A and B are shown apart, each in its own frame.
Chain A
């Protein structure tokens, strides 16, 4: 069982993900905006944070920056959710462990979370480097073959 915190301004996403994670045996809490996260993490560090990038008050990328600056990241694994893949490299560079593009199948996210929770920090860093190389390669290919 892991402690998972979900931050998304979309109530449907919060409901959907919290149900699936809770049924998997995890302890789940949710937040509606980036502003609350830093406080939540300072109080009780989650094992995994699911973070939406586009939020009205404090967006996910700013949260990542703040966590990165303050060194608050600790052992928390971070999965970012976004409607587009444009910021993958930046998010991974700021410490996100995985990037998911909406819409996605909740089962895919559950599988990723299971994988991330099983990895050590060193393995996570290697995995992230690999994801970044993949993302850069994909965007190069896109620009080569894109219209």
Chain B
């Protein structure tokens, strides 16, 4: 059982995510925007933050940047859940320190499995995986530039 903070500006998405996560046995809190999420993480760091990217005022990327500055990053694992599907976006997410990147629409099993994986993974494992993802992206973009006409 983990303490999970869900950050999303859409009430429907918050409803869906909280229903899934509480039923999985987790303790859940929500934030409707990036600033509120930051305040909550600083006040009481959750085990996992499920973070939307496209939000008004302070978007998910800004939340990641701010978190890095506070150092709280070390206690909270971050799962990005976004409608942004391009390679550029997930590379940016991983570079800013996200531990997992999922895209909407998502599958319930996919989300719960990702949360479980994050919970059992050590910091080192997550760091190694992030680097692997970034290397993969680099390789892909090299391949693309090779075959570009």
CA distance A27 to B22 in the complex (A): 10
Interface membership of A58, Cβ < 8 A: no
**B contact residues around A11 at 8 Å (CB):** 23
Taking CB atoms and an 8 Å cut-off, the chain B residues in 2-60 that contact chain A are 3, 11, 14-15, 18-19, 22-23, 25-30
Interface membership of B1, Cβ < 8 A: yes
Interface membership of A15, Cβ < 8 A: yes
B128 CB to closest chain A CB (Å) equals 32
* From B1, B22, B26, residue with most partner A Cβ within 10 Å: B22
Q: Are A27 and B28 in contact (CB under 8 A)?
A: yes
**Which of A3, A14, A19, A23 lies in contact with B27, CB distance below 8 A?**
A3
B149 CB to closest chain A CB (Å) equals 52
**A contact residues around B27 at 8 Å (CB):** 3, 27-29
**A contact residues around B28 at 8 Å (CB):** 18, 22, 27-29
Q: Are B22 and A30 in contact (CB under 8 A)?
A: yes
**B contact residues around A19 at 8 Å (CB):** 14-15, 18-19
Q: Are A29 and B15 in contact (CB under 8 A)?
A: no
CA distance A11 to B3 in the complex (A): 20
Interface membership of A26, Cβ < 8 A: yes
**A contact residues around B30 at 8 Å (CB):** 22-23
Q: Are A27 and B29 in contact (CB under 8 A)?
A: yes
Q: Are A29 and B26 in contact (CB under 8 A)?
A: yes
Please give 20 more A-B residue pairs, beta carbons under 8 A apart, in addition to A18-B18, A30-B22: A15-B22, A15-B23, A18-B19, A18-B22, A18-B28, A19-B18, A19-B19, A22-B18, A22-B28, A22-B29, A22-B30, A23-B11, A23-B30, A26-B29, A27-B29, A28-B22, A28-B27, A29-B22, A29-B28, A30-B25
14 contacts between A and B (CB under 8 A): A1-B29, A11-B23, A14-B22, A14-B23, A15-B23, A18-B19, A18-B28, A19-B14, A19-B18, A23-B11, A27-B27, A28-B18, A28-B22, A28-B27
